[in-house]
Chains A and B, each alone.
Chain A
Amino acid sequence: MEGSGVGGSESGSMSTVSRDDNMVVSSEDSSCPDESELELGLGLSLGGKSGGFKMHQLSKGGQFARILTAKDFPSVISAASPSSSSSSSSSSLSRANVTAGTKRTADSVAAANGSSQVVGWPPIRAYRMNSMVNQEKNLAAEGFNSTMVNHKSETSMVEKTTAGIGKYQNNGNTKLRKSLFVKANMDGIPIGRKVDLNAHESYEKLAKTLEDMFLKTTSSVNPTGSMTLELGAMKKITRPSKLLDGSSDFVLTYEDREGDWMLVGDVPWEMFLSSVKRLRIMRTSEATGLAPQLQERNQRQK
């Protein structure tokens, strides 16, 4: 993830230039592109006409909308631009990289985690970056074990309340679990969300949250200070879990540990928690492999 220091230990000469020196210039200086190349306008793609960035506004509420695709940058060098639209914002970087100098592209693509990045950006100290990487790994690892852990802590909590020690009281049956965040995407919406499965106790609640996330607009703060909740003219979900009962255009599916895509709702909740890797709100028309399951379920519910 940390790109190697630009120029790092490989080529590139260094001269200390001061009046007293004999203008010591290493022979590698010849590898330096001649000045006409260097005078390329840098960053015009970024600093240039704002038309360089096309804003596709998804919804009136100004939900995340920096979706740039390769077609926004006709001359982008493909080496640095990944195919998925999610990283397309970085393809704008690769364009800048090209005009800045030939080695830049290689450097920025060299980042270990596979997505195209600019070296040293965003400006966060290497130490902090490393800590974050470790943290991600720890949380991911713990997530799958959380089911077992939860039982133990629930027991402790129960003991506590029955013993009547007042201070550490929880309201009702709020369970203190570790988080289990998984990514959730909906077909047709390029930007996904993260959902804490352990904050939900059932499929119904999960589906409701997902519907809130993907089918309603978000609130936004009016810059002049007043908080305005902008509920778009979206269909209000009047009955629960259209996603679960097969009556909407979408179905809720999940990828399990083996990489298979399954319909959400068929196995007990706890078992689901231990095998789910991520969620996808899939168009019913696309859920062909799952169609038999869908039909089965529809029949069962009739």
Chain B
Amino acid sequence: MESSELKRSKDSVNSCESARRSSFPDEVLERVLSLLKSHRDRSSVSLVCKDWYNAERWSRTHVFIGNCYSVSPEIVARRFPRIRSVTLKGKPRFSDFNLVPENWGADIHAWLVVFAAKYPFLEELRLKRMAISDESLEFLAVSFPNFKALSLLSCDGFSTNGLAAIATHCKNLTELDIQENGIDDIGGSWLSCFPESFTTLEVLNFANLTSDINFDMLEKLVGRCKSMRVLKLNRSVSLEQLQRLLVNAPQLAELGTGLFSQELTIREYEELESALSNCKNMHTLSGLWDATGMYLPALYLACTHLTFLNLSYAALQSVELAKLLAHCPQLKRLWVLDSVEDKGLEAVGLNCPLLEELRVFPADPFDNEIVHGVTEAGFVAVSFGCPRLHYVLYFCRQMTNAAVATIVQNCPDFTHFRLCIMNPGQPDYLTNEPMDEAFGAVVKTCTKLQRLSVSGLLTDLTFEYIGRYAKNLETLSVAFAGRSDWGMQCVLGGCPKLRKLEIRDCPFGNAALLSGLEKYESMRSLWMSACNVTMNGCRLLAREMPRLNVEARGGMPHHLSLLSEMLGTRQTENY
């Protein structure tokens, strides 16, 4: 009797369980979910049910944290036990432009301490706008025996001594990527710290640094790292040295040259040209400091399969650019200085039909005394020739509503539209009207728009347009624009997918700030500086939204940095 009862109850338990799990063992679910790479997909998956939440957290190997104050490292470690790769972003973006005070925070060390305990098998760390000291770098180097990849972008607080620690201790390093950081460049000896037995490096980017490195050591290092595919040199490496490196590394896919200007004999020139053209896999080219028409032809043969050309450190003239681009038919991404002027951009439109991304930086942003740079004409010319264009960053000194309307008509697929008319609050220079209609055209036409930076003279109408039409907008940057609270209210009331909003020098005040309470729950961050927000407004906000990190500087000008989401509380230090 008992046994059959037992059996029945077991059966019923089994059938309950199997009904619940639909004969889908955890291991299988985990295996399937491990194929998911996108962190957004994973977030969605984890919300389905408890089993899926668990399967997802056990199968996740890479965690992306867009705002280091949104969550604590302990919580991350508790939820995801098997992380091998971490991406962390810290300071608000406006810290790149000196709008965030020193010692604001975003220090990596607390995270490293937790990781050392919970993720001793950590392999990759990618940081953006974090503060990282040499001590932290050394701690990192000795705490993780499997460590493979370090990428630092727009970080600060460290020196080349920290890099020396990495080179010395990380025996399995495959990637060292140092980009555009506030690094204290004491000297180049860090490079010599790689042991002679070390051969695993695949990515080496030290373009950020200025000091001389020991070229012999570099040559040997490159020679023995046969898997190297990305090599970005700094200015101290000459053309002749570049040639010697390339001879031993024709497999390179991404090359950043050193100084592209030197007295070469004919023979040296030819050797350089030959070495460059032997890099059959090269799809990305950068560096090219001080490049002039003289040696650019050496690149021609190497550019056949180039998809990304970064000339933003070479002040080329239009003719030089035109000649170069004639050899770059496959180009998808192009970064240039506005020294190429409209004529240079016409050449872009003529030669690069596959272009998807264009960035035009100002060579001389503060000189208002001369005619230079690019105008609306250049942008329009590119739009006619490059219908696939979807990412633009454009610094100019004049623009018209009509030109922008034409541009988006030609290129309706914009996902990133960042227009910077460099004189704040400047109207359409032909009609003298605000630039409202320009951005209206952008948001109405470009339905896929994810990121928008506005500039010029703008009334609240611009923001009405944005709120109403920009259904996919995630990031909005505003400066010297708007007329009243209404503008910001329109954005906060519309834009269903808004995640990051950064505002400086606009007449938006407390009413606008407080109109977005519901919105802030779904956003990553809000920045407001030099607006009409007051301390009391911030206090009200903090009181209404206890789960938000609200930070306000009482001094002038007002900084309000709203680091939202969930639970973290910032440890403020020196305030």
In the assembled complex, which residues on chain A have CB atoms less than 8 Å from the CB atom of B405? Answer: 223
- A178 closest partner in B (C-beta): B292
In the assembled complex, which residues on chain A have CB atoms less than 8 Å from the CB atom of B549? Answer: 16, 18
A3 to B529, CA, bound (A): 16
Contact residues on B (Cβ < 8 Å of other chain), bracket: 35 or more
- B372 closest partner in A (C-beta): A194
* B554 pairs with A25, CB closer than 8 A: yes
A271 to B297, CA, bound (A): 30
- A63 closest partner in B (C-beta): B371
On whether A15 and B505 interact (CB within 8 A), knowing A4-B98, A43-B482, A121-B479, the answer reads: no
* B429 pairs with A66, CB closer than 8 A: yes
* B569 pairs with A16, CB closer than 8 A: yes
When each residue 62-98 of chain A gets 1 if its CB lies under 8 Å from chain B and 0 otherwise, what string results? 1111100000000000000000001101101100100
- A38 closest partner in B (C-beta): B534
Check if B450 is an interface residue, CB within 8 A of chain A: no
A120 to B101, CA, bound (A): 12
Contact residue among B101, B505, B507, B542 (Cβ-Cβ distance under 8 Å from A8): B101
On whether A47 and B371 interact (CB within 8 A), knowing A128-B361, A131-B313, the answer reads: no
On whether A123 and B98 interact (CB within 8 A), knowing A11-B555, A46-B425, A223-B402, the answer reads: no
The total of interchain contacts (Cβ-Cβ below 8 angstroms) comes to 299
* B554 pairs with A26, CB closer than 8 A: yes
In the assembled complex, which residues on chain B have CB atoms less than 8 Å from the CB atom of A220? Answer: 377
State how many angstroms separate the Cβ of B197 from the closest Cβ of chain A: 34
* A28 pairs with B554, CB closer than 8 A: yes
In the assembled complex, which residues on chain B have CB atoms less than 8 Å from the CB atom of A26? Answer: 554, 575
State how many angstroms separate the Cβ of A121 from the closest Cβ of chain B: 7
State how many angstroms separate the Cβ of B526 from the closest Cβ of chain A: 14
State how many angstroms separate the Cβ of B259 from the closest Cβ of chain A: 9
- B531 closest partner in A (C-beta): A42
* A115 pairs with B555, CB closer than 8 A: no
Of residues 227 to 270 in B, which have CB atoms within 8 Å of A's CB atoms?
263, 265-266, 269-270
State how many angstroms separate the Cβ of B295 from the closest Cβ of chain A: 9
On whether A223 and B406 interact (CB within 8 A), knowing A7-B557, A66-B426, the answer reads: yes
Of residues 80 to 132 in A, which have CB atoms within 8 Å of B's CB atoms?
86-87, 89-90, 92-93, 96, 100-104, 113, 115, 117-129, 131-132
Q: Is the interface of B mostly helix, strand, loop or mixed?
A: loop
* A183 pairs with B369, CB closer than 8 A: yes
* A165 pairs with B556, CB closer than 8 A: no
Contact residue among A39, A101, A124 (Cβ-Cβ distance under 8 Å from B530): A101
Check if B532 is an interface residue, CB within 8 A of chain A: yes
A26 to B572, CA, bound (A): 13
Of residues 544 to 575 in B, which have CB atoms within 8 Å of A's CB atoms?
546, 548-559, 569-570, 572, 575
Number of A residues, CB within 8 Å of B: 104
* A50 pairs with B481, CB closer than 8 A: no
Check if A5 is an interface residue, CB within 8 A of chain B: yes
In the assembled complex, which residues on chain B have CB atoms less than 8 Å from the CB atom of A53? Answer: 425-427, 432, 457
- A14 closest partner in B (C-beta): B575
On whether A139 and B315 interact (CB within 8 A), knowing A31-B554, A42-B506, A50-B457, the answer reads: yes
When each residue 271-301 of chain A gets 1 if its CB lies under 8 Å from chain B and 0 otherwise, what string results? 0000000000000000000000000000000
Check if A33 is an interface residue, CB within 8 A of chain B: yes
Binds B, one of A149-157, A235-243, A245-253: A149-157
* A168 pairs with B480, CB closer than 8 A: no
- A45 closest partner in B (C-beta): B425
* A125 pairs with B381, CB closer than 8 A: no
State how many angstroms separate the Cβ of A113 from the closest Cβ of chain B: 7
Check if A257 is an interface residue, CB within 8 A of chain B: no
On whether A168 and B457 interact (CB within 8 A), knowing A1-B366, A118-B424, the answer reads: no
Check if A200 is an interface residue, CB within 8 A of chain B: no
In the assembled complex, which residues on chain B have CB atoms less than 8 Å from the CB atom of A15? Answer: 551-552, 554, 575
* A102 pairs with B556, CB closer than 8 A: yes
Check if B400 is an interface residue, CB within 8 A of chain A: yes
In the assembled complex, which residues on chain A have CB atoms less than 8 Å from the CB atom of B506? Answer: 42-43
When each residue 1-31 of chain A gets 1 if its CB lies under 8 Å from chain B and 0 otherwise, what string results? 1111111110111111111100101101101
Contact residue among B315, B371, B555 (Cβ-Cβ distance under 8 Å from A135): B315
Given contacts A47-B425, A139-B290, 12 further A-B contacts (CB under 8 A): A2-B98, A8-B102, A12-B101, A18-B542, A19-B543, A38-B532, A42-B531, A47-B480, A103-B555, A121-B479, A122-B420, A125-B96
7 contacts between A and B (CB under 8 A): A12-B553, A16-B570, A17-B538, A41-B507, A47-B458, A122-B395, A185-B369
Instruction: Please report B residues at the A interface, Cβ cutoff 8 Å.
Output: 94, 96-103, 154, 180-182, 208, 263, 265-266, 269-270, 289-290, 292-294, 297, 312-313, 315, 317, 342, 361-366, 368-372, 376-377, 380-381, 384, 395, 397-398, 400, 402-403, 405-406, 420, 422-427, 429-430, 432-434, 457-459, 477, 479-483, 504-507, 509, 529-536, 538-539, 542-543, 546, 548-559, 569-570, 572, 575
